[in-house]
Amino acid sequence: MLHSYLTTLLERSQIPGLAVAVAKNGETIFEAGIGYRDVARGLPVTPDTIFGVASVTKSFACLAIMQLAAAGRLSPTDLVVRWLPEFTAILPPDGRSIQIRHLMSHSSGLPGMQAIYHARAGAIRKDPDWQRLGARDPFTVEPIRTPRELMKLMAAADIDLLGAPGQHLNYSNEGYALLQAIIERASDQPFRQYLKRRILDPLGMDHSMLLVEEMRRFPEVTELYAPEPGGFFHSPAWWDVGDIYTNGSLKSTVRDLIKYLEVYRCGGAGLVPAAGVAKMTAPFVTMPTGTSYGYGLTVQPGYHGYTLIGHGGSIKGVSAQVLLVPEAGLTVALLINVTGAPAERIALSVANHFLGLPLETYKYEFPAYTPAPGELAALAGRYHSDESGDVVVAVGEDVTLKAAGQTHAVRPFAPDALVSADGLTHARFMRNPAGRIWALFLGMRVYRRV
The C-alpha torsion from 140 through 143 and 57 to 38, rounded to 10°, is 70
Are the C-beta atoms of 13 and 172 separated by less than 8 Å? Answer: no
pLDDT, position 163: 93
pLDDT tens for 178-224 read 999 999 999 999 999 999 999 999 999 999 999 999 998 999 999 99
> Where would I find the beta strands (DSSP E) of 262-380?
285-286, 292-293, 298-303, 306-315, 318-325, 330-336
Measured in whole angstroms, the distance separating CA 269 from the mean position of its chain's CA atoms is: 24
pLDDT, position 89: 75
> Where would I find the beta strands (DSSP E) of 185-269?
225-228, 231-234, 251-252
Are the C-beta atoms of 46 and 303 separated by less than 8 Å? Answer: no
Are the C-beta atoms of 100 and 186 separated by less than 8 Å? Answer: no
Average pLDDT over all residues of the chain: 95
377-449: which CATH topology?
Answer: Lipocalin (2.40.128)
Sites in the chain below the pLDDT cut of 70: 94
CA distances from 229 to 208, 233, 247, 402 (A): 33, 10, 29, 18
pLDDT tens for 400-440 read 999 988 999 999 999 999 999 888 899 999 999 999 999 99
Max CA-CA distance within the chain? 63
- Taking the C-alpha atoms of residue 448 and residue 389, their distance in angstroms, rounded to an integer, is 10
- Taking the C-alpha atoms of residue 234 and residue 148, their distance in angstroms, rounded to an integer, is 34
Quick one: DSSP state of residue 208? -
**Which residues does 189 contact at the CB level (< 8 Å), separation at least 6?**
none
pLDDT, position 339: 96
Domain definitions of the chain by residue range: 1-363, 377-449
CATH, range 1-363: 3.40.710.10
- Taking the C-alpha atoms of residue 439 and residue 429, their distance in angstroms, rounded to an integer, is 6
pLDDT, position 158: 83
- Taking the C-alpha atoms of residue 16 and residue 260, their distance in angstroms, rounded to an integer, is 25
pLDDT, position 98: 95
* Other CB atoms within 10 A of residue 142 CB: 8
Measured in whole angstroms, the distance separating CA 106 from the mean position of its chain's CA atoms is: 11
Q: Which helix (H) or strand (E) holds 120?
A: helix 115-125
- Taking the C-alpha atoms of residue 362 and residue 75, their distance in angstroms, rounded to an integer, is 36
**Which residues does 50 contact at the CB level (< 8 Å), separation at least 6?**
207, 215, 218, 220, 221, 222, 251, 252, 253
* Other CB atoms within 10 A of residue 213 CB: 7
Are the C-beta atoms of 102 and 83 separated by less than 8 Å? Answer: no
